Amino acid sequence: MFKKILVANRGEIACRVMRTAKKMGIATVAVYSDADARAPHVLMADEAVRLGPPPAGESYLLADLILLAAKETGADCIHPGYGFLSERESFAKACAEAGIAFVGPPPKAIAAMGDKIESKKLAKAAGVNVVPGFLGEIADTDEAVKIASDIGYPVMMKASAGGGGKGMRLAYSEQDVREGFEATKREGLASFGDDRVFIEKFIESPRHIEIQVMGDQHGNIVYLGERECSIQRRHQKVVEEAPSPFVTPEMRKSMGEQAVALARAVGYFSAGTVELIVSGADTTGQGFYFLEMNTRLQVEHPVTEAITGLDLVELMIRVAAGEPLGFTQDDVTLTGWAIENRVYAEDPYRGFLPSIGRLVRYNPPEDARPAYGKVKADGGAYVRVDDGVREGGEVSMFYDPMIAKLITWAPTRIAAIDQQIAALDAFEIEGPGNNIDFVSALMQHPRFRDGNITTGFIAEEYPDGFHGAPASADLLRSLSAIAAFAATAEADRARRIDGQLGKRLRPPADWSVRIDGTDHDVSISTDGVIVDGEELDIALEYTPGDRVVQAEIGDEDLSVRIARTRGGFRLTARGAAHVVRVLPAHVAPYAEHLIEKIPPDLSKFLLCPMPGLLMRLDVAAGDKVEAGQPLAVVEAMKMENILRAEKAGTVKTVNAQPGDSLAVDAVILEME
């Protein structure tokens, strides 16, 4: 077995690999850029080596520096994680030439499956169903338009070396192709060093299913069930689960056997994933198409670990050391259900714009822990958080916006979903915007809970954007009571601090609470809690300064994140934040006359929605524009974002130029 492993990655996946390495008694080496000098993966490792400046092209993508770090520290193997160099044939070859084991597949398998164009050709030759499309070189936008027209709209344009939702554009018309083809090429070049693009038919109302395979160097290959990854936004996965609520045992067997056959055809070993697109209307069990094979560990591997009880990272390391798997396909069993939500640094209330900055507060659920497999023999649920950040750290514009992965396991799908909702309620993040409310809303959505999902789910269910999960009347009553409890505790604290004056004052027993435009009367006494004339069975503890309130309401537990505001509190629970005004009942009638500040009208300005680089400006002063017309392109976190005109008008002044680094809300141009 290896003595020392270098992890050629950063963030949560680096931490994830190191946890297993330490469990196996293997020393660890981290590499880092200047932006990650004090990152958790650096602090966790036994040794750490600086690579260079923050941009990945000057640090994590420099294979020569990583190999030099391995030689200098005496590492005898390298785990690449995912992204960066994990699917570079040249890196795997360089490791072999340097006498350092690469924890992944052989170079020839990476070459065969890592290129999306070539992998589709190989899959087709092997008799695997592939999506209709054009797999040759595309010279320019005009040729792309012709190819798309021949295939028939809608089509998907994909960077050949792409992944993770980057370098992908959906086109429903010639205009979409003309707007998106060059951007797809640029994203492919910027993220993967390859600007080749292929075009294929987009299957509408599809489900995204993937098969996890694992092979050793002795010819043993098994499949470890499937994962459902249909909940996506901008082709980037948001929610993953295992198994799929759609896949039957017969489909699983057919998909798995084809995935194994494909892996065997290219001499594959280590962990890999065969991604498939499936028609949601298929009832034959055979209506699936090969998309690509990821020759690395997937972001969503924890859900497979949860239902199989296997540590995939440990298996990868043992396979790289030449050990056999030690089990066969018949030994693979799937138990229970697992859900993973990706917690991203983005603002779902502002069109999911990327968000960066310092994590002023970062506190995962108390019962969360890294766990590989079914950790509770009694069949109970568990929560796992995989992360690579810490309180006080920075979410940087240079890397992927994922903050953490929240994984829950339970005996049934609904129980695993409900465990997610409870854990998300208790997950505290302050600083950058985050999508916790949004993924909580997904977990509560009736269509998701029914398992009736496709890759178009988010676009279909939130066509006008996300504005918070709807709150039931019962939840609003409960939150009103919690706000009144908190106000009572705050008033009691003020009374005790005020000394002699406080002795003559008592916290009010009756409160007027306004939440989401509705008013509730709350009375708190030793006899109980009355909300709107009805008794509420509620128990909780709140001390001024607490950030999370744990309440018992009847037979249910409710975690509520709480923050003090002027005139009340902001309570966040069940996928939405509620600004709550709390006043003593005798004062409330006089509060209606308070003057509210009216926000300024910013509609005539084009503001930069996130920190980023202005890549392109499509208009000049004096130009007339129509609503929806592209005005500028801003790049942030390796993704290009097209900014469009909200309404028709004329450009009055231009305040920025291509190449400028812009802060959030920086004025790009002003309309007359």
So which residues are the catalytic ones?
292
For 317-349, letters b (16+ CB in 10 Å) and e give bbbbeeeebeeeeeebebebbbbbbbbbbbbbb
DSSP string, 41-109: HHHHSSEEEEEESSSGGGTTT-HHHHHHHHHHHT-SEEE--SSTTTT-HHHHHHHHHTT-EESS--HHH
Q: Which two tokens stand for residue 493?
A: 């604290």
Q: Which H or E run contains 500?
A: helix 500-503
CA 483/CA 524 separation, integer angstroms: 11
Distances 143 to 133, 181, 199, 648 between C-alpha atoms, Å: 14, 10, 11, 32
HEC secondary structure over 212-246:
EEEECCCCCEEEEEEEEEEEEECCEEEEEEECCCC
DSSP H or E run through 437? helix 436-444
| Phi, psi angles (nearest 5°) of residue 604 | -85, -5
330 DSSP assignment: G
Give the CB-side neighbour count of residue 7, counting CA atoms within 13 A.
32
Spatial distance between the Cα atoms of 168 and 658, rounded to a whole number of angstroms: 23
Total number of residues shown for the chain: 672
Pairing of strands 166-171, 133-134: unpaired
Q: What's the distance, Cα to Cα, between the start and end of the chain in Å?
A: 69
Q: Which pair of structure tokens corresponds to residue 278? A: 């499936």
Of all residues in the chain, what percent are helix, strand and coil, respectively (each to 5)? Answer: 30, 35, 40
Tokens of residue 172, six digits: 């429903």
- Neighbour-count burial of 597, counting CB atoms closer than 10 A to its CB (0-12 exposed, 13-18 middle, 19+ buried): exposed
| Residue reference for tokens 């690449």 | 80
Q: What is the enclosing helix (H) or strand (E) of 634?
A: strand 630-636
Single-letter code of the amino acid located at 257: E
Other C-beta atoms within 10 Å of 19: how many?
17
Q: How far is CA 138 from the centre of its chain?
A: 32
- Classified as helix, coil or strand, 649 is strand
Query: How many C-beta neighbours within 10 Å does residue 286 have?
Result: 13
User: Residues near 89 by Cβ (< 8 Å), separated by ≥ 6?
Assistant: 107, 108, 110, 111, 114
The residue type found at 440 is S
Q: 336 near 21, Cβ under 8 Å?
A: no
The DSSP code for 36 is: G
Q: How many whole angstroms separate alpha carbon 646 and alpha carbon 550?
A: 42
**Contact call for residues 552 and 538 (beta carbons, < 8 A):** yes
